[in-house]
Amino acid sequence: MRRLLGSVRSRATLGATLVVAVALVAAGAAVVLALRANLTGQADGQAESAARRVAADLAGHTPFDQLDLEGDNPVQVFDQDGRLRAVSEDLERISGTGRGAVRPEAVPASDDDDEEHDDSLEAGEISEEAAFSEGSATVDGETEDYRFAEVQVEVDGQGTLTVYAGASLSAEQSAVRTALTAMLVGFPLLLAVVAAVTWLVTRRALRPVEDIRREMAAITASEDLARRVPQPDTHDEIARLARTTNETLAALEASVERQRRFVADASHELRSPIASLRTQLEVGAAHPELLDVDGAVADTVRLQQLAADLLLLARLDAGERPGAMRLDLAALVREELSQRTADRIRVEADLEQVEVAGSRGQLARVLGNLLDNAQRHARSRVTVTVRAEGSCAVVEVADDGDGVPEAERERIFERFVRLDDARTRDDGGAGLGLAIARDVALRHAGALTVADAPEGGALFELRLPAD
């Protein structure tokens, strides 16, 4: 049962059936109550009509023994003292009128002249209001439920007489039983139809979902991320789910491909310094006098830097969150410049104190990579500017080199990408510096772009939120 209810189709079918069942029960109850009220009203009308007919005869001074009390309506006529004066033939038992007498009482003639009169009614007047009650009566051996109407009439010389007349409720009870029987038979059939239709409709509606699930299972088993799930030709939620799933697969495929290239490029970049270092160490082991210590140290430093870059990229890809430390960008730039030895490239700085929140180590790496890149490609001068611009902190690093062609301005931020001139001028770079800088900027909710510098070289602009 639990497994069955785990199906969306089962839950949808059960939910729809329950809703329809509740609606049918409520509608059925309303119909039965309305039917009963209508038929009860009709019975009240019949009972009142019969009572008023007898009352009219009494108002016309018809003697009790000459009243027309034959018919389907049981009738009782009581005088002002509560004595039964007239009753329907074959009435054997009655309840609901408050007076169970079924045999008329003999009254001396003198008592008829001494009746007290009801001051609220004039002689021959029939009360406008009728009271109603419900009970049962046995007539000629048959017992049925009745609605009784009570009507009062003032008769000259006899006082106030009370007439009770009943109307059978058999028609109402029969109609209600028929309606209940129809509901008991029809409702289950209708619920079965609703359940079947809902089951078939949901099956048809969820068929694309099952196709998507089956294809995703096949993709998982085959590890072929180039495959895509079928997309239905509709504009509903399932079609949007298929599109989103395919977009996710495309992004995953691109990510895996990027990781593969990353591993391949990393292996290639690591192979060169490791091979060079091994060669120098083997030569040094065989011929100590030929050991190039400076070259071995340079290869070791290059290998160490490459390993550090790869580890940082791995942490960034793993979703490492930047810290929330408040940092002064101007102070961070000064510290980075102080660690650099003077060379042929002149560095000019225009620094304004601006605070940002982030990781000190990661932002220092960004500034270092931008300065390294600028000094690598500058002819004679590098300009560093730190300023506040609205709600952003802006760091600009410009050089007077050849600049970056517009077609290559996005590609240089990819991993292991080096332009041809960079490879000739610097055989020590692995093409990770700018990729690391942009990744760090993005994870600090910032941006890193490149444009033309006023001196004709490249202008790298780092924007970080300052609030």
What confidence tens digit (pLDDT) does each residue in 374-428 have? 988 898 899 999 999 988 999 999 999 888 998 888 888 887 777 654 444 344 4
Provide the residue count of the chain. 467
State the average pLDDT for the chain.
84
At 290, which amino acid appears?
Answer: L
Q: Can you read off the two tokens belonging to residue 392?
A: 């952003």
Query: 189 pLDDT band (50/70/90 cuts)?
Result: very high
3-class SS at 175?
Answer: helix
What is the 8-class DSSP label of residue 296?
Answer: H
Given a cut of 80, whether residue 109 has pLDDT beyond it is no
Q: Looking at 10-168, which runs of residues are DSSP E strands?
A: 75-78, 84-87, 91-95, 131-139, 142-155, 159-168
Specify the CATH number for the domain of residue 448.
3.30.565.10
224 located within any domain? no
Let me know if residue 13 belongs to a domain: no
Smallest CA-to-CA distance from 175 within 37, 40, 36 is with 36
Is residue 187, in this structure, part of any structural domain at all? Answer: no
**Whether pLDDT at 449 is above 90:** yes
HEC string of 435-448 equals: HHHHHHHHHCCCEE
Query: Taking residues 99-112, what's their average pLDDT?
Result: 72
Domain range holding 70? 27-174
Residue 450 burial (CB count, 10 A): 21
Phi, psi of 217 (to 5 degrees): -65, -40
Domain presence at residue 258:
yes
338 in the same domain as 311 = no
More confident residue, 318 or 90: 90
The token duo for 74 is 């049981």
**How many Å apart are CA 298 and CA 307, to the nearest integer?**
14
Kindly tell me if the per-residue pLDDT of 333 is higher than 60: yes
21 in any annotated domain: no
Tell whether 357 and 418 lie within a shared domain: yes
d(CA 84, CA 78): 4
3-class SS at 206?
A: helix
Q: Which pLDDT score is estimated for 287?
A: 77
Question: Over 50: is that where the pLDDT of 284 sits?
Answer: yes
Beta-bridged to residue 152, according to DSSP, are: 162
Are residue 138 and residue 51 in the same domain, yes or no? yes
Q: 448, 438 in Cβ contact below 8 A?
A: yes
